[in-house]
Amino acid sequence: MSARSGQPFQFHGFQTTIDIARQQNHDVAPLMGQKRVSDSTSTNNPGSRPVDFVRPSVFPPRSRLTASEIRPVAAGVSERNDEQELETRASEEYGHDSCLFLNDPRYGLPPSLVANFASVGVNSIYPWQASCLLAPGLLNGEKHLVYTAPTGGGKSLVADVLMLKCIIENPSRKAILVLPYVALVQEKLKWLRRIVQDVEKHTDDIDDQAADVKPYHQRWKKLQKSIRVTGFFGGSRTSASWADTDIAVCTIEKANSLINSAIEECNIGDLGVVILDELHMLDDEYRGYILELMVTKLLLLQQDIQIIGMSATLSNTELLAEWMNANYYISTYRPIPIDDYLVCENAIYPAATSRQLFQTITKLTSMSTVSLTDTMPPHRIIQPSPFRELANPTTNAMVALSVGTATAGYGALVFCGSRQGCQLHASIISEAMPVPAAVDPEELGKRLDLLADLRSLPSGLDPVLENTLVRGVGFHHAGMTVEERESIAQAYDQGILRVLVATCSLAAGVNLPARRVIINGARMGRELVGPAMLRQMCGRAGRKGKDEVGETYLICGKSELQGVCDLLEADMPAIESCLAPEKRGLKRAILEAIAIGLVSGYEAIKEYVRCTLLYRTMDKKIAYSIMNTALQELVDENLLRQSDDESYGATQLGQAVVASAFTPEDGLFVYEELRRALQAFVMDGDMHVFYMFTPLQVAMTIQVDWPIFRDQLDKLDESGLRALQFVGVQPGFVNRMVQSGASLKEDTLEQIKLATIYRRAYTAFQLRDLSNEVPLSVIASRYRIPRGAVQTLAQQCHGFAAGMVKFCQRMGWGMLMAVLDHMRDRLEAGARADLLEMAQVTYVKGWTARLLRDNGFSNLRALAEADAKDLVPVLMMVNPRKAQRNQTHPTEAERYAKKVLAKAEVIIASANKIWERTMQVELDE
């Protein structure tokens, strides 16, 4: 299959390590790559000695299940991607070309930055990266860039080099790096901070001015020359502002807010480069329009701002480049060869022959006596299992492929369609894995340490994980807490866990490569997975620096075979505008542009619309018609005012909607509720505020458990009940829903509004519990929801609450703003009011703050004046199980005590800093 066809699978014709093992009667060294081993194992190179791939005699009797054997049938196909081969040959031929090294003078990078790249394994770059970087106008920031390359092909490095070069050579300029998910923002923050360590900006004028000055001026000089990297995302507690950073790593929403503020405050000229990672998010139903209007604003400004967009899943790259007036580059190169397979009815076929496979099955439908495998011999056969649990061929194949990879010493990543499926599949795979007694003692010890760490979390340990982790199998989905997901992902990345079962969200959210990617079923949820998501999942197979070869296996049943074969041969869908009328994105785009002062006159608004992707992809008259309709609706809703000269300006309400980052529809709903609240806000309790802080987006998706709703209503005091009745909740209606077992109707606008009110009220109970220091596990149990969902709710509420505060500020509702701002602090701290001051301190969350207060450190000043040694016993009480476990091992106990002492010192330093700042404010007043 040619790489030019844009198919989600590529076939390279390599035999896998498992194939080779099956063909040998003796120990076989790995064909490519190195065996995944723990950092503390022998320092001998595992690739230089034979590795037993199949050693059934070494293991004691296995657990109740045994994975089926996979045996070869046909010789390996020699087909290989021509373009991949050409690129590989180019790498070999030009391996000594100076342009493939970042210290080449043409890139103009300082030695310290080149050294930092080398320290993380980037010693040279690929020919396509060099060709892309050296294109005219890119390194000096004169041209925009749109490019696409497969996952693992080195996309990020190109953008990193361009961004860092801009910041280093232009010390007064800033960069914004946009990523779609919080997990990606946090991962990129760590990477960039490591890369820019000890790298200085070119600030010669500062050197001259501060050559012979006092020490504090020297510190100021060093601060000015260092590169400051800051994260901006929902739920982050950073106090850094736009002025305090050089590189802002943001989610889509935060990046848009930063750009709006910079335009409004007339310092958008400070921005030098904007990087849009995962550019295919332009097509996202919920967030794509934000990305498009952000780019549209930058294009209209025509400032000296370089825009760089990249993705692994773009099909209309040239169109996007035309829209952005950018250079474009398309690479199909992957440094790691990938073998792609389709698995059906225990038979493994090369994915390149998928259409032939389906045609063969179609011919055999009326010939029950003829076997598919006889008509079209597969590449390998998975033996049917005698175990009832593995009678389903799909499950049997998943277990055989996973266990075979793990016992060979490599990592397998299994994707399935639901959270419940993750846990079920992890359980059954773990039962077929080697028993703990057969595992290397050091590796087993690390798994037990992982279990202990998870048990010590405030949320406790998931009972399914308790059974699977000791066998080297974990799972990863959005229903888990952030701490659980991070611990599991890290353990898999370090080789402590051999198999990780995950939902498809992991493919886009975390960088975890695998020797084998196993997609268990072509449906993710109810729908057949799309070509873009399929490519994202398959892209996790093989990763430079982690492995030297990769494999993907898509497992399906006969009923799905036609859809799967079509999927394998489908082109990537074209990226379309999300400003279309049915998505109502243009309405928000126009309101934002007018509210921040970007445009006002009718002709300027038309020019703004001409900068959109929507204008590029539809009839011009229709685009102007949509614009006129949006303008009229905004005027009718009192978000815009129209002057006699055909110019437009934002009303106070329109300004408030934009400042709070709400959509026009959500802003109008919030306005009506807040206006009513001003007339009779329930101040003698907190339920009214928590109802206001519940995001509308959450209310659209949450399912109300009516018996639980009634129980919580019955427990409310008079103030809480009055607050909910004021917003529209009727206890009688809740009782009727409990008795009838019915669901909320949402057929009319009035019914949708009523459903939103009840869902927000139900969610407000959970927010109340979070702010009253109720343990997360208790909340999850009380409302019968996953613990991770509670954390996600809290994170989403932080951003929405900040928007509510800004909304009140712009509307001039000072008293209401003060009330909401106080409760927002409680929500972020996860603590009652008496702990808010201490909860500002680094590492001090609600539970930790309560323990410190109850053990003599009653306020911020007491914490600032404390001795670090005195804090150690209290901090050990935060995770008593972990502290108790370490006491049984003297060496571990000493190491743990040092770690806690270092944490105590950070807490005291942070408390001192906040205390000094508080005192300075009081002195200034």
SS3 for 146-181 is EEECCCCCCHHHHHHHHHHHHHHHCCCCEEEEECCC
- Any long-range contacts for 876-879 (C-beta under 8 Å, 24+ apart)? 876/900, 877/851, 878/847, 878/848, 878/851, 879/456, 879/457
Q: Are residues 591 and 555 in the same domain?
A: no
* The pLDDT of residue 557 is above 50: yes
Question: Cα(first)–Cα(last) distance of the chain, in Å?
Answer: 72
Q: Are residues 554 and 419 in the same domain?
A: yes
Task: In whole angstroms, give the CA distance from residue 525 to residue 416.
Answer: 9
Q: Which of 202-211, 682-691, 906-915 comes out lowest in average pLDDT?
A: 202-211
pLDDT tens figures, 694-736: 888 877 788 899 999 999 999 999 999 999 999 999 999 999 9
pLDDT at position 10 is: 35
* The pLDDT of residue 6 is above 60: no
| Residue 759 forms part of a structural domain | yes
Supply 671's token pair. 């306005």
Q: Model confidence at 441, in pLDDT bands (50, 70, 90)?
A: confident
Q: Which residue intervals of 331-390 are DSSP H helices?
A: 354-364, 372-375
- At 226 the three-state DSSP class reads strand
Supply 867's token pair. 């001795």
Final residue belonging to a domain, choices 330, 360, 380? 330
Rounded mean pLDDT, 48-65: 40
Q: Which residue has the higher pLDDT, 550 or 854?
A: 550
Closest to 487 in 3D by CA, of 464, 509, 461:
461
Task: In whole angstroms, give the CA distance from residue 452 to residue 462.
Answer: 12
Supply 440's token pair. 């290397």
pLDDT at position 638 is: 95
Number of domains in the chain: 5
Q: Are residues 417 and 270 in the same domain?
A: no
Gyration radius (Cα) of the chain, Å? 29
Q: CA 889, 892, 897 angle in degrees (round to 5)?
A: 120
pLDDT at position 382 is: 92
Beta carbons within 10 angstroms of residue 720's beta carbon: 23
* The pLDDT of residue 86 is above 50: no
Q: Which residue has the higher pLDDT, 13 or 349?
A: 349
| Residue 48 forms part of a structural domain | no
What is the DSSP code (8-state) at residue 583? Answer: G
401-404-405-406 Cα dihedral, nearest 10 degrees: 120
Task: In whole angstroms, give the CA distance from residue 585 to residue 286.
Answer: 10
Closest to 914 in 3D by CA, of 851, 827, 836:
836
| Residue 838 forms part of a structural domain | no
Highest mean pLDDT among 347-356, 407-416, 545-554, 845-854 belongs to 407-416
Highest mean pLDDT among 543-552, 765-774, 849-858 belongs to 765-774
pLDDT tens figures, 780-818: 889 998 888 888 888 788 888 888 999 999 999 988 888
CATH, residue 610: 1.10.10.10
Q: Indicate the helix (H) or strand (E) that contains 468.
A: helix 463-468
Q: Are residues 419 and 501 in the same domain?
A: yes
CATH, residue 301: 3.40.50.300
**C-alpha 361, offset from chain centre:** 40
pLDDT at position 368 is: 59
Q: Which 3-state string (H, E, C) describes 535-604?
A: HHHHCCECCCCCCCCEEEEEEECHHHHHHHHHHHCCCCCCCCCCCCHHHCHHHHHHHHHHHCCCCCEHHH
| Residue 306 forms part of a structural domain | yes
Q: Which residue has the higher pLDDT, 7 or 502?
A: 502
* The pLDDT of residue 876 is above 80: no
Rounded mean pLDDT, 61-73: 75
Q: Are residues 306 and 166 in the same domain?
A: yes
Backbone angles phi, psi at 343, to 5 degrees: -115, 125
Task: In whole angstroms, give the CA distance from residue 275 to residue 2.
Answer: 30
pLDDT at position 221 is: 60
Final residue belonging to a domain, choices 287, 305, 330? 330
pLDDT at position 58 is: 33
* The pLDDT of residue 92 is above 90: no
Q: Which domain holds residue 599?
A: 581-650
Q: Are residues 722 and 798 in the same domain?
A: yes
C-alpha separations of 101 from 6, 114, 481, 557, 563 in Å: 30, 9, 41, 48, 45
What is the DSSP code (8-state) at residue 601? Answer: B
Q: Are residues 308 and 369 in the same domain?
A: no
Q: Which of 398-412, 638-652, 888-902 comes out lowest in average pLDDT?
A: 888-902
Q: CA 40, 43, 48 angle in degrees (round to 5)?
A: 130
Task: In whole angstroms, give the CA distance from residue 757 to residue 766.
Answer: 15
Task: In whole angstroms, give the CA distance from residue 802 to residue 315.
Answer: 37
Task: In whole angstroms, give the CA distance from residue 223 to residue 221.
Answer: 5
Q: Model confidence at 50, in pLDDT bands (50, 70, 90)?
A: very low
Closest to 343 in 3D by CA, of 292, 402, 388:
402
| Residue 723 forms part of a structural domain | yes
Mean pLDDT of the chain: 80
pLDDT at position 808 is: 92
Q: Are residues 463 and 560 in the same domain?
A: yes
Who's near 649: CB < 8 A, 6+ residues apart?
Answer: 594, 600, 640, 641, 643
Supply 139's token pair. 């390194």
Task: In whole angstroms, give the CA distance from residue 282 to residue 284.
Answer: 6
Task: In whole angstroms, give the CA distance from residue 164 to residue 174.
Answer: 10
Task: In whole angstroms, give the CA distance from residue 834 to residue 491.
Answer: 38
pLDDT at position 884 is: 57
Q: Are residues 681 and 788 in the same domain?
A: yes
Rounded mean pLDDT, 504-509: 68
- At 77 the three-state DSSP class reads coil
Beta carbons within 10 angstroms of residue 192's beta carbon: 20
* The pLDDT of residue 88 is above 80: no
* The pLDDT of residue 362 is above 70: no
Beta carbons within 10 angstroms of residue 558's beta carbon: 12
| Residue 164 forms part of a structural domain | yes
* The pLDDT of residue 321 is above 80: yes
* The pLDDT of residue 559 is above 80: no
Rounded mean pLDDT, 303-309: 94
pLDDT tens figures, 24-42: 443 333 333 334 444 433 3
Q: Are 586 and 615 in contact (CB under 8 A)?
A: no
| Residue 126 forms part of a structural domain | yes
pLDDT at position 536 is: 81
Who's near 781: CB < 8 A, 6+ residues apart?
Answer: none
Beta carbons within 10 angstroms of residue 791's beta carbon: 24
* The pLDDT of residue 220 is above 60: no
C-alpha separations of 742 from 733, 783, 912 in Å: 11, 18, 56
Q: Are residues 639 and 686 in the same domain?
A: no
| Residue 575 forms part of a structural domain | no
Q: Are residues 679 and 635 in the same domain?
A: no
Task: In whole angstroms, give the CA distance from residue 417 to residue 477.
Answer: 10
Q: Are 70 and 18 in contact (CB under 8 A)?
A: yes
Q: Are residues 340 and 413 in the same domain?
A: yes
| % the chain with pLDDT above 70 | 79
Q: Which of 91-95, 132-136, 307-311, 597-601 comes out lowest in average pLDDT?
A: 91-95
pLDDT at position 136 is: 92
- At 874 the three-state DSSP class reads helix
